[in-house]
Amino acid sequence: MIEIIPAIDIIEGKAVRLSQGNYEQKKVYSEDPLEVAKMFEGHGINRLHIVDLDGAKANRIINYRVLERIASRTSLIIDFGGGLKSDSDLDIAFGSGAEMVTGGSIAVKNPEIFQRWIDKFGAEHIILGADCKDKKIAVAGWTETTDEEVIPFIEKWRRQGILKVICTDISRDGMLTGTNVDLYKKIKEVDPGNYLIASGGIGCIEDIERLEEAHIPGVIVGKAIYEEKIRLKDLAGFMEN
């Protein structure tokens, strides 16, 4: 059974979605992310992926008050990411109610800090963000593409203790054009034990079904829900299996 993880991206305290990570292509879907989170919870969702897009640009946690409101007023299990760069950022995130945090840029630019997080907070609380464009890792809110290949990058951190990986195909993110199933299959073939969470491009229920058929453990769904390409009631079947 594939785990369904809705996403809430935050800018200036509002729930938004971008297209291909472009901050100039921002659409506000709700002035109050808590109401969105409650809607998810009301349809049987128990997981939530929150991205602090302001934090991703500022290189420090910004929208922790939004996290705190959602965590304190719902029972959702939340992973939180976006600009986390220091132990104090993680202390704030966990103190505000996050069960897990996601680190991407930090794992590339300051691997010693990311390793310390795994050791200090526990691998079960740290998710590797492997965001890629043309199979190369992208960082700094997706504004920079590195020379690191996505699969070796993931495998390196799996050897260092990482248990869960969110892999986003940036070229598909927010485009509703279908997910990169072939990429996720290759990642799983290299390491079948990887709890891989696919992200980017989900546009219909069939996209989720294809990932489930490929035995991908989890999927992040964002714009398809907000644009009503996928109805929350249609996700019930995945949660009942």
User: Which positions are catalytic?
Assistant: 9, 131
Structure tokens at 203: 């546009």
Q: Pick the closest to residue 24 from 67, 48, 57, 66 (CA basis).
A: 57
- Quote the CA–CA distance of 20 and 25 in Å, as a whole number: 9
Residues 222 and 17: beta-carbon distance below 8 Å: yes
DSSP 8-class letter at 140:
T
- Quote the CA–CA distance of 108 and 125 in Å, as a whole number: 19
3-state class (DSSP) for residue 68:
helix
- Quote the CA–CA distance of 183 and 83 in Å, as a whole number: 25
- Quote the CA–CA distance of 64 and 74 in Å, as a whole number: 15
- Quote the CA–CA distance of 18 and 29 in Å, as a whole number: 11
